[in-house]
Structure 1
Amino acid sequence: MPRALQTTARIAGAYAEAWAGRDVDQILSFHSRQTRFEASALGQRAEGRAAVAEAFRQMFKLWPDLRFDVQRRHVSSGLIVFESLATCTLAAPFELAGRLLRPNGRPVSIAVADILAVKGGRIASKLSYFDALGYVTAMAAP
């Protein structure tokens, strides 16, 4: 296996473990200083380590029990793709897809795809996509 691919595969495994621990500082230790994070369904975009850290902290405030069950992981020398099932319980009111969602105490699971660009052994960008309509529908279910 080429060295760059080995490095990226090692980053992918350790990064998934950092997310499982919900430790923002540990998660950010894998990111470059100029890192970028986008979660299009949330309308969220952050650039630079401090802004990305704040975005991740806000996610953990909204969903303190957020966890990802990685279904598939794809790795190339400069790219990591995680296909996951995210499970979380909303802890504060939140607007998504034009609807105000309120905490109901129920965990919801949704499909998530994360695309990470790796440059110089660091994550340069993290683009996150999830099923917003599925989340809204699950939150509204009795």
Structure 2
Amino acid sequence: MTATTRELFERYHACWEARDPDRIAELHTVDSVFHLHSGQPPTRGRAAIRQAAAGMFELVPDLTFERVSLRVGEDFWVTQFKMTGTPASGAELDVDLADFVLVENGAVKEKHSYVDGMAMQAAIAPAEASPRPGS
């Protein structure tokens, strides 16, 4: 484990905890990739990563991450979180999250986030309207 990569992890995680999409994007390389592996295509570049992070915070304004485990190497980290919050749907979000992050020149080059897409979608999606009697 390198102190530099561990320090980058701590700064990056603090930006997510602060729900600060500007600071999150600044810690990525210019050509970085962020891929939330739950059915969406990868997001590429700082502006798109900023927008993706901001969108997550809009969907779940009180989004929190409880660290379960962390492994740090010379140019990567792998971490497991319990992600919780309350989306606009009112349902409780309680999803396991695993991140695999590649580091290049002191910045995030690639972030791959793996979640239970079905559980996340069920919590975030608005409840389906109930059919009206006689419809």
Same fold (TM over 0.5): yes
1:132 alignment partner, one of 117, 125, 129:
117
2:69 alignment partner, one of 72, 75, 83:
72
2:21 alignment partner, one of 21, 24, 34:
24
After TM superposition, give the deviation of residue 89 of structure 1 in Å: 1.5
Number of aligned residues: 125
> CA 1:55–1:137 in structure 2 vs 1: closer, same or farther (change >3 Å)?
closer
5+ residue gaps, structure 1: 92-102
> What corresponds to 2:95 in structure 1?
110
Q: Secondary structure at the match of 1:14?
A: helix
After TM superposition, give the deviation of residue 137 of structure 1 in Å: 6.0
Q: Does 1:55 align with 2:52?
A: yes
Provide the C-alpha distance between the structure 1 equivalents of 2:32 and 2:86, rounded to a whole number of angstroms. Answer: 27
Largest Rg, 1 or 2: 2
**C-alpha offsets along residues 55-88 of structure 1, whole Å, 9 cap, x if unaligned?**
1111111111111111111100110111000002
5+ residue gaps, structure 2: 128-135
Q: Secondary structure at the match of 2:87?
A: coil
Q: Secondary structure at the match of 2:38?
A: helix
> CA 1:137–1:25 in structure 2 vs 1: closer, same or farther (change >3 Å)?
closer
> What corresponds to 2:7 in structure 1?
10
Q: Which amino acid in structure 1 is aligned with residue 111 of structure 2?
A: K
Q: Does 1:89 align with 2:86?
A: yes
Provide the C-alpha distance between the structure 2 equivalents of 1:17 and 1:86, rounded to a whole number of angstroms. Answer: 14
What is the root-mean-square deviation of aligned Cα atoms in Å? 1.8
1:123 alignment partner, one of 101, 105, 108:
108
